Homo-oligomer: A and B are copies of this chain.
Amino acid sequence: MASAAPSRVLNLAVIGVGLVGSELLKQLAQPSLASRFRLVFVSNSKHSVSSLTPKGSLDFSNWKQNLEGSTAPPALEDLPRILGEFVEGDAAKNPFAVVDNTSSESVALLYPKFLRAGINVVTPNKKAFSSDLWLYDDIVASSASTGAKFLHEATVGAGLPIVQTLKDLVETGDQVKRIEGVFSGTLSYIFNEFSSPKGGSEFFSTVVRIAKEKGYTEPHPGDDLNGADVARKLTILSRLIPSLRNSLHSGYKSVSTTSLVPEALRGSEVTGADFLQHLPDFDSHFHLLKEEAEKEGAVLRYVGVIDVAKGEIKAALEKYPKDHAFATSLGGSDNIIAFHTERYSPRPLIVQGAGAGAAVTAMGVLSDLLKLI
């Protein structure tokens, strides 16, 4: 009989301890999990703590206190080298993962270095996978060179099983034909309220204002309404589909994207407060769009569509019949994503649920980490 496999721990470096990062460390501190991980490094934007320094002591109960007392800079540029030396010197060959909980482009640029040092990368940060193709290529090649993985379930739909489901479909040989869905929790909420099968709210600007008050939007609501977040998610999924792998050279900027930000409010000098103040001037525009939809027995939904045969990838405001799942089943800030494939045809595989929030995003990150153990 074979003997029991030695239990390994996953070494962790956690970059960013905002809402998602703090929640992740809280989830990791659960008794059933804490013993399976070893916290090696934690940083916020100003400071860092590490267990690799002579006096270093770090665990899931003391990281916050230690970080608050630290004067060491994050020094993230040195991190791939420092952690790489640690990995090389670990005779027990415990796996190592860096978790990037920031939305920083500069942290994303470090992923190839981590991967080439044999360190897995797990993140809800969309930047690396939705920017220029060369960065994505570098990440894929770096991962292949050492076998270290990059996992990013939480970049699309937070904790919902979207990225892994698409990977499973593709890897098992299904042919993806079309992916269509409501990918933005913010835009889901706004259009569920503004344009429901039962009528909806009167003024678009009022709905946006309430969404802002509820904490559903970015500080500047234009950052949701411009569709860039949806375009980023479409880029991430498209790159997992073999025939679209190389189609978006400039990443999300290559996606055909309808911005809902009125032309007059697009300048970089327009603050979030300015935006909300002037949005009512455009209520009649959105009202007209809704009326047009209603004449056709439809509602408005801001969706992302990947049409594989046509090679069309777009983020756009579309009309859906009032008995369509996007009209009837959605509520709150739900995401809904439908995978139309050769096997799932004529009816798609659908995943639906909250697609934003710290608890479900951290859960997406943590489920990726558990795959590495």
Q: Which residues from 333 to 361 on chain A have a C-beta closer than 8 Å to any C-beta of chain B?
A: 334, 339, 343-344, 346-354, 357, 359-360
Contacting residues, chain B, for A94 (C-beta < 8 A): none
Min CB distance, A272 to chain B, in Å?
27
A4 and B329 in contact, given A27-B173, A160-B349, A344-B354 (Cβ under 8 angstroms): no
A98 to chain B minimum Cβ distance, whole angstroms, is 14
CB <8 Å contact, B30 and A146: no
Question: From A357, which residue of chain B is reached at the shortest CB distance?
Answer: B343
Residues in B with CB closer than 8 Å to A346 are: 332
Given contacts A4-B146, A159-B343, A173-B33, contact A329 B332 (CB under 8 A): no
Q: Of residues 309 to 346 in A, which have CB atoms within 8 Å of B's CB atoms?
A: 323, 325, 328-329, 331-332, 334, 339, 343-344, 346
Q: How far is the CB of A43 from chain B (nearest CB, A)?
A: 23
Q: Is the interface of A mostly helix, strand, loop or mixed?
A: mixed
Tell whether, in the assembled complex, residue B367 and residue A146 are in contact, meaning their CB atoms are under 8 Å apart: no
- Given the interface pairs A352-B352, A363-B343, the reply to whether A370 lies near B2 with Cβ below 8 Å is no
How far, in whole Å, are A125 and B370 apart by their CA atoms in the complex? 25
Each complex incorporates copies of this chain amounting to 2
For A165, A348, A353, the residue with the greatest tally of chain B CB atoms inside 10 Å of its CB is: A353
A148 to B3, CA, bound (A): 10
Given contacts A145-B4, A146-B1, A329-B325, contact A353 B347 (CB under 8 A): yes
Please, how many angstroms separate the alpha-carbon atoms of A359 and B173 in the complex?
10
Q: Are A1 and B33 in contact (CB under 8 A)?
A: no
B residues less than 8 Å from A165 (CB atoms): 161
